[in-house]
């Protein structure tokens, strides 16, 4: 996940020199940010069904090789179309990454011990940015944004070699007899269950904020607030540091609450969704702030609070999903919420381009993000009931399994 998010952040980090060298409009740069997600969801769903049958070790290896190879065309002079295509290919390779990694981790930890490992896995996103931004920004400032892509390609190849040597499959894999005995839930019922829909809705808002952070945050710091590229690179780390602390705290608190007997409705559902509402209110307050420091702080805290939902939703889905269907269910969840990555950068680009001035455009874009966060958080609070979901789904499935109709 560290490599994965370093790959994601590079376009946003190099946004100003890329826009300048390629003479892009804000709408074109928004399209470039969104292009990463064009095949993201489709590949996540396809690979999600694949990992139900093939070891995650080999699936992750193939994905990592795609990430690495997709970076190298940008080392030399490149057209906008080529850059766009490479980002689409990269997105197709990275779309299934988190869901496949979570599925792999759940082969090592039982349900009551999964929240903290999920939090640590999620830290890859933060540390991918925290570790990569200083190095990539140095390459961008002192050399060229082209070489930043090449450096990521080399790192991807090195990681793939290490994974080939060290990656293993966990022991918590059901035998054929166990899989046959486990009651399967029709996907139509599983994917329309209250908690699954709540997870998608809540994480959609969080990913809206994350995709703006990946694509537009550094550009806003430079063109909106007037910082230099060097200083903006340093500032760009701050949301991820705060987000990392939030994710680890949520993982620790959730697992501690569950150990004390608190229901997963509260220890996972409420704990994950409530911070989205708070974060949305903070983003909506940005027009009331006037100093650059206050605006940056609002973005850091408002967007950083969203990290809680990534920690709790995959374990919630795993609570009520049969093991044989878990890889696909988590992948489809990821495919749906990451559609925010297609929409959010385009919306911001369109708003900035049509606004009376650049700052008004950015503030409007972040206020839209705030409204999305509040709506997503409220839906999460309403719909996330993982502690009762499995029983409800299995009770609904029994009459069908027996060839009977449920009474009216």
Q: For 90-101, what is each residue's pLDDT tens digit?
A: 989 988 888 888
Which helix (H) or strand (E) element contains residue 383? Answer: helix 358-383
For the segment 147-176, the average pLDDT, to the nearest whole number, is 87
pLDDT at 174 > cutoff 80: no
In a domain, 198, yes or no: yes
**Which ranges constitute the DSSP H helices of 24-144?**
26-35, 40-50, 56-69, 80-94, 97-105, 115-142
Whether 6 contacts 155, CB under 8 Å:
yes
For the segment 150-165, the average pLDDT, to the nearest whole number, is 94
Q: What is the pLDDT of residue 45?
A: 85
In a domain, 90, yes or no: yes
Domain extent for 236: 2-401
Residue of higher predicted confidence among 105 and 394: 105
Residue of higher predicted confidence among 365 and 104: 365
Can you tell me the distance from the alpha carbon of 151 to that of 72, in angstroms, rounded to the nearest whole number?
9
In a domain, 354, yes or no: yes
- 48-69 pLDDT tens trace: 888 878 888 899 999 999 989 9
170: tokens are 């966990």
In a domain, 39, yes or no: yes
Burial of 367 (0-12, 13-18, 19+ CB in 10 A): middle
Longest dimension (CA), the chain: 72
Residue of higher predicted confidence among 260 and 40: 260
pLDDT bin (cut points 50, 70, 90) of residue 337 is very high
In a domain, 406, yes or no: no
Whether 4 contacts 67, CB under 8 Å:
yes
The CATH code of the domain that includes 260 is 1.20.1250.20
List % helix, strand, coil for the chain (3-state, nearest 5).
80, 0, 20
Averaged confidence pLDDT in the chain: 87
Q: What is the pLDDT of residue 164?
A: 93
Can you tell me the distance from the alpha carbon of 83 to that of 64, in angstroms, rounded to the nearest whole number?
19
pTM of the predicted protein model: 0.77
Q: Which residues, at least 6 apart from 271, have a Cβ–Cβ distance to it below 8 Å?
A: 250, 253, 254, 257, 308, 312
In a domain, 407, yes or no: no
pLDDT at 406 > cutoff 80: no
Q: How many domains does the chain have?
A: 1
Q: What is the pLDDT of residue 404?
A: 38
Indicate the SS3 state at residue 79. Answer: coil
């Amino acid at each position: 996940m560290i490599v994965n998010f370093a790959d994601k952040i590079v376009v946003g980090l190099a946004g100003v020199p890329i826009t300048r060298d390629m003479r892009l409009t804000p709408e074109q740069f928004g399209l470039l940010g969104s292009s990463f997600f064009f095949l993201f969801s489709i590949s996540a769903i396809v690979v999600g069904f694949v990992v139900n049958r093939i070891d995650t070790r080999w699936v992750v290896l193939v994905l990592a090789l795609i990430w690495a190879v997709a970076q190298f065309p940008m080392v030399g002079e490149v057209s906008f179309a080529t850059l766009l295509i490479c980002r689409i290919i990269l997105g197709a390779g990275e779309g299934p990454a988190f869901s496949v990694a979570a599925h792999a981790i759940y082969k090592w930890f039982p349900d009551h011990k999964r929240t903290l490992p999920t939090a640590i896995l999620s830290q890859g996103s933060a540390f991918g940015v925290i570790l990569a931004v200083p190095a990539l920004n140095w390459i961008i400032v002192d050399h060229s944004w082209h070489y930043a892509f090449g450096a990521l390609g080399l790192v991807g190849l090195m990681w793939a070699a290490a994974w080939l040597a060290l990656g293993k499959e966990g022991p918590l894999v059901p035998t054929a007899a166990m899989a046959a005995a486990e009651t399967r839930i029709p996907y139509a019922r599983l994917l329309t269950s209250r908690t699954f829909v709540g997870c998608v809705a809540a994480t959609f808002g969080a990913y809206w904020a994350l995709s703006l952070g990946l694509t537009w945050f550094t550009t806003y710091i430079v063109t909106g607030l007037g910082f230099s590229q060097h200083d903006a690179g340093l500032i760009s780390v701050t949301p991820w540091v705060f987000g990392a602390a939030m994710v680890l705290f949520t993982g620790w608190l959730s697992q501690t609450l569950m150990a004390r007997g608190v229901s997963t409705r509260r220890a996972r559902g409420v704990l994950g969704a409530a911070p989205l509402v708070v974060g949305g209110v903070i983003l909506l307050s940005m027009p009331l702030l006037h100093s650059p420091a206050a605006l940056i702080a609002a973005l850091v805290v408002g967007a950083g609070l969203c990290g809680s939902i990534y920690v709790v939703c995959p374990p919630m889905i795993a609570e009520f999903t049969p093991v044989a269907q878990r890889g696909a269910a988590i992948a489809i969840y990821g495919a749906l919420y990451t559609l925010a990555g297609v929409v959010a950068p385009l919306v911001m680009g369109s708003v900035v381009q049509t606004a009376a001035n650049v700052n008004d455009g950015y503030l409007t874009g972040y206020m839209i993000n705030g409204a999305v966060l509040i709506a997503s958080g409220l839906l999460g609070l309403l719909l996330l009931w993982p502690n009762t979901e499995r029983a409800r789904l299995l009770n609904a499935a029994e009459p069908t399994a027996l060839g009977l109709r449920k009474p009216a």
